[in-house]
Copies of this chain bind each other. A is one copy, B any other.
Amino acid sequence: MSIYLQDIPLSEAQSIFHDALEKARLWRILETEEINLDEFSRGRVLAEPVWAKLSSPNYHASAMDGFALQAEATIGASPTSPLVLKIGLHTTYVDTGDPLPEWADAVVPVELVEPLDEKGQDIPDMRRSSAIRVRAALTPWTNIRPMGEDIIATQLVLPAGQVLRPVDLGAIAASGHATIQVSRKPKVAIIPTGTELIQPGQIARPGNIIEYNSIVLAAQVNAWGGLAKRYPIIPDDYEKIKESVLQAAGENDLVLLNAGSSAGSEDFSAQVISECGDLLVHGVAVRPGHPVILGMIHYSKERIVPIIGVPGYPVSAALTGEIFVEPLIGYWSGRQPFEPIEVTASLTHKITSPPGDEDYMRVVVGRVDNQLLAAPLPRGAGIITSLARADGIIVIPAGTQGLESGTKVKVRLYRSPHELENTIFCIGSHDITLDLLAQYLTSFSRRLVSANVGSLGGLVALRRGEAHLAGSHLLDLQTGDYNLSYIKLYLPETQVRLVTWVFRQQGLLVNKNNPKGIRSLVDLARPEVRFINRQRGAGTRILLDFELSKLGIKTRTINGYTQEEYTHLAVAAAIASQRADCGLGIAAAAQALELDFIPLFQERYDMVIPLRFFATDLLSPIFELMQSPSFRNSIAALPGYDVSKMGDFLI
């Protein structure tokens, strides 16, 4: 077993896989099956074109509720000189859809006639009428749906390869079919492997990983028209993995073997595939996703089954599905591969990319000032939330080392363009209440996308036209006031409104029961106390530096001062996981991770909103919520929050 993976370009890997499938006679539409035409046919793929068996309508039909008659009999009728037609041999009531009597060639709608009784008197009830008065002449074939108006027997109704939509089912039925030929759904096995894996709901101990890749992959397969089967978790045991792979190959068209595709000490996928068939590719130059395996299992002389070794990192796994599994299911089903909608957006941050790899970067997308912006999400292959939060993907081709901020990029969308239009970009300081705001905004059809770059970073984003609003709590070291002087400095040319969001407590987050006996900022200088800091430009960092200088504490005496995190919750997490002993942050973050909190200061957290966004329809729900008792109460319920000034304008 080699511990070094190959690193071949994606297109080459795809072509090797394609050739092997072709050689095994598996590069073809799977068998067809005949199914009854009903509502459950939706989403199936037509394996054969549908040619009309019947015309529709298959007789001349009345297009209205009215009276069938001979057009000739109405010649001369006009509003002022009506004609009276006796109901009988050549004038008869027909409902919409009724066949036209053979002798008739027109229908006059009920609304246009006046019912008469036997004596020629007007009566209200059409059904008891003996004659009708007609006030207009009809031309032949008026209000008739001629045979074949919709469909003429033998014409093409739908081409093969059509993914059936509700209205397609109607067109097929109308053309005389009660059954249809569709492609069989490709059966896809998903085998999770790993001794460390546990099921959702089982108690997670350090080292345990909740197994959810199989859920994501199975849901993908089903969404793409396959039939997914999840197999039980197999521990890292060569023989057991081999047994499961062979069983799955016997029962399915494709096997996805999840994790163990790398080259670690317990990565058996490559070895199992080599032994049971052909290892075609081990390692593709795609990030995230790198340690993908492509192979063929020789189950028997007649049965060769493709297998994909899917990397264990969740983002890699989901992207491996999109890149390798979706097109194969599509081809086997006889449909076109899904083509995402692409938009062009402007990159908000400079990004770097490994030059040798095709790089799939997740972004959030929104419109600010008529410009579509793409803000990169965290890059790690382990960050499943980066996919759940993603509005789309940017593919950075191999050979590109990175892209400058402002570069126009093509984004393959995961959402409909309409959702992007309702996106509020809130870039700046992080506060836990933004999660609540995001939740409340959904009922207004607004999506809040918040990027945490600190208060100063938020003002810079506003200056560059990359956000609709920014949360900020920048303490003016001279005046003791918040934000105003910074706005003057950083946004000299932008008219803004400044509105109070909350007052909140800042203090020291420490472990439960405060084992190191930390009481104030003075304790940070103790050598055995490990501090975790916020990044430069964060309001909390400015507050810390201000208070430290007041106390005359040198920052270099603080152990961990250079260790930076970007959010309050990340600071809390660092302490909860014993990576640090304390950090400055908000009470709610302490409560979230069951830490103790030593309150030190109260600060104001404001929203900075450029005037041009202030009165827009997009942002109006935010102002509505600031006045909403339910929203204010849910924030006031968080520890350390005061909403009494929420909504007060400062500028």
Contacts and interface: CB of A to CB of B under 8 A. Distances in A.
Interface of A: 3-4, 37-42, 49, 54-61, 63, 65, 93, 95-99, 110-111, 126-127, 145-162, 165-171, 173-174, 176-179, 194, 196, 199-201, 204, 206-207, 209-210, 212-213, 215-220, 222-223, 228, 230, 262-267, 312-314, 318, 321, 336, 339-342, 380, 382-388, 390, 414, 416-419, 435-436, 438-439, 442-443, 445, 569-570, 572-574, 576-577, 579, 591-593
A158 B263 CA distance: 34
A169 B216 contact: yes
A388 B157 CA distance: 9
A312 B150 contact: no
Given A212-B174, A314-B170, A336-B445, A39 B218 contact: yes
B264 A167 contact: no
Given A196-B98, A264-B95, A385 B153 contact: no
Given A380-B149, A382-B57, A170 B39 contact: no
B150 A382 contact: yes
Q: Closest 4 A-B residue pairs measured CB to CB?
A: A178-B201, A148-B573, A173-B212, A65-B264
A634 to B, nearest CB: 11
B438 A159 contact: yes
B219 A572 contact: no
Contact of A98 (B158, B207, B443): B207
Given A55-B576, A152-B569, 18 more contacts: A3-B111, A37-B200, A54-B210, A59-B207, A95-B264, A96-B262, A147-B573, A149-B380, A152-B593, A157-B385, A159-B442, A165-B223, A166-B223, A168-B388, A170-B384, A179-B201, A339-B416, A341-B417
Contacts of A340: 418
A210 B570 CA distance: 63
A174 B222 contact: no
Q: What is the count of identical protomers in the complex?
A: 2
A452 to B, nearest CB: 11
A196 B95 CA distance: 11
Contacts of A110: 3, 263-264
A58 B170 contact: no
Contacts of A592: 152-155
Contacts of A145: 380, 382
Nearest to A2: B124
A202 to B, nearest CB: 8
Contacts of A416: 339, 341
B166 A439 contact: no
Nearest to A168: B388
A522 to B, nearest CB: 26
A56 to B, nearest CB: 7
Contact of A147 (B152, B380, B436, B576): B576
A271 to B, nearest CB: 13
Given A95-B266, A155-B569, A442-B159, A387 B170 contact: yes
A126 B267 CA distance: 14
Contacts of A154: 569, 591-593
Given A42-B219, A171-B388, A318-B166, A383 B149 contact: yes
A171 B385 contact: yes
A445 B228 CA distance: 27
Contacts of A178: 199-201
A222 B39 contact: yes
Given A150-B383, A161-B442, A212-B174, A222 B167 contact: no
B210 A173 contact: yes
Contacts of A569: 148, 152, 154-155
A263 B58 CA distance: 24
Given A145-B382, A157-B388, A380-B145, A39 B97 contact: no
A417 B339 CA distance: 9
A193 to B, nearest CB: 12
B314 A65 contact: no
A508 to B, nearest CB: 19
Contacts of A436: 156
Contacts of A155: 435, 569, 592
Nearest to A335: B442
A110 B384 CA distance: 25
Nearest to A228: B39
Contacts of A199: 178
A212 B170 contact: yes
28 contacts: A4-B111, A37-B215, A39-B222, A39-B228, A55-B576, A57-B209, A57-B382, A96-B313, A97-B209, A98-B196, A127-B265, A146-B573, A148-B577, A149-B380, A152-B573, A154-B592, A156-B436, A166-B318, A167-B384, A170-B213, A170-B387, A170-B388, A171-B387, A174-B384, A174-B385, A176-B204, A340-B418, A341-B341
